Amino acid sequence: MQLSHAFINRLIYRITLLPFALIISTSVHALPEQALVPGGIALLKLPDYTEGTEVTFKNKRIAVFPYKDTWIAMAGISLSTKPGDYEFLIKQTGKQNVKTKFTVEYKKYDEQHLTIKNKRKVNPNKQDNERIASESTRKRNARQLYSNSESKVDFIWPVTGRISSIFGLRRFFNEQERRPHSGLDIAAKEGTPIRAVANGTVIDTGDFFFSGNMIYLDHGQGIVSLYAHLSKISTKPGDVIKQGDIIGNVGQTGRVTGPHLHFAIYANQTLIDPVFMLPKDGNPPIPLSSENTADSQDN
């Protein structure tokens, strides 16, 4: 897989002082796919990278990693991002800071209406809310983690199965609107082994009110993967994980309507569509569901 000149066309960008370039990725394996939309990814080529180079987006430091004969910066674009122009800020020791601009385009996400039998998973009681508040601190700490280790972005699919719910859907539980779907739901038989998508370190594990049994993996420089609703967790915080290691099994714990893996990715503390990080040939027999219904859901 190679970065071609085609990666740096189609975009209008303004660059000052140094020849940085935005990337259009057509890669299906090693490099994440660029998608300049809410919930997507922005990639920046850094041909003049030097040790200690830092890149920020919306005042958050983003991942920088080597690829072939160059370096790449990757920013997650949140679902709340409005269409318009945004900037990377590149900082290098002994050099003037550089800003590069790119344009985020509008994207419409569909709605999804689901019926939840356990009404406490839609309208928690006082005791539930106390638990949720406590868990929210753990979740925030996990997604905000920034380690200086080299980022691992050459992901594999964590499990093979039908895509039962896609990222970004506006969620209605028992006709009550909730937050948009934060990841990718992959329906699979309960007990199906789940593999780590890349090398990493376990940040946290546990049983969460909405997410059930869940694992957070740190892949370096703000890239974190999340695996929810597991029937079994086979790892613990601090474990060093290799890509492909079995870390748990598919289940239906937490807020669900059937067995599945809820898989999510954070980049610079921002949830992004996992499809842009996964190889296109990793789940070949299972196309995205065209139905506006799902076997499962997450918070």
Are the C-beta atoms of residues 284 and 238 closer than 8 Å to each other?
Answer: no
Q: What is the pLDDT of residue 168?
A: 81
- State the amino acid at position 137 in one-letter form: T
117: number of CA atoms within 13 Å, CB side?
Answer: 5
Q: What is the pLDDT of residue 282?
A: 73
Cα 113 to Cα 104: distance, rounded to the nearest angstrom: 28
CATH fold label, 5-104: Immunoglobulin-like (2.60.40)
* Domains of the chain, residue spans: 5-104, 111-277
Given the DSSP bridges, would you call strands 170-173 and 111-114 parallel, antiparallel or unpaired?
Answer: parallel
- Kindly report the pTM of this predicted structure: 0.81
Cα 217 to Cα 98: distance, rounded to the nearest angstrom: 32
Residue 56, beta-bridge partner list: 61, 89
Cα 133 to Cα 50: distance, rounded to the nearest angstrom: 42
Q: What is the pLDDT of residue 18?
A: 35
| Helix-then-strand count for the chain, H and E | 1, 21
Torsion angles phi and psi, residue 276, rounded to 5? -75, -10
Cα 172 to Cα 225: distance, rounded to the nearest angstrom: 25
CA distances from 156 to 135, 240, 277, 279 (A): 28, 17, 9, 6
If phi > 0 it is left, if psi is from -120 to 50 it is alpha, else beta; for residue 234 that is alpha
Torsion angles phi and psi, residue 233, rounded to 5? -105, 125
Q: What is the pLDDT of residue 128?
A: 74
Question: Other C-beta atoms within 10 Å of 80: how many?
Answer: 9
Q: Which residue has the tokens 């569509």?
A: 273
Q: Which residues of 56-67 are buried (b: 16+ CB within 10 A; e: fewer)?
A: bbbeebbbbbeb
CATH fold label, 111-277: Glucose Permease (Domain IIA) (2.70.70)
Cα 200 to Cα 164: distance, rounded to the nearest angstrom: 27
pLDDT tens for each residue of the chain, 299 residues long: 333 333 333 222 333 333 445 655 443 336 899 999 999 999 999 988 999 999 999 999 999 999 888 999 999 999 999 999 999 999 998 889 999 999 999 998 876 555 555 555 556 677 777 878 888 899 999 999 999 999 999 999 999 999 988 888 765 554 545 567 789 999 999 999 999 999 999 999 999 987 999 999 999 999 999 999 999 999 999 999 999 999 999 999 987 878 999 999 999 999 999 999 999 877 755 554 433 333 333 44
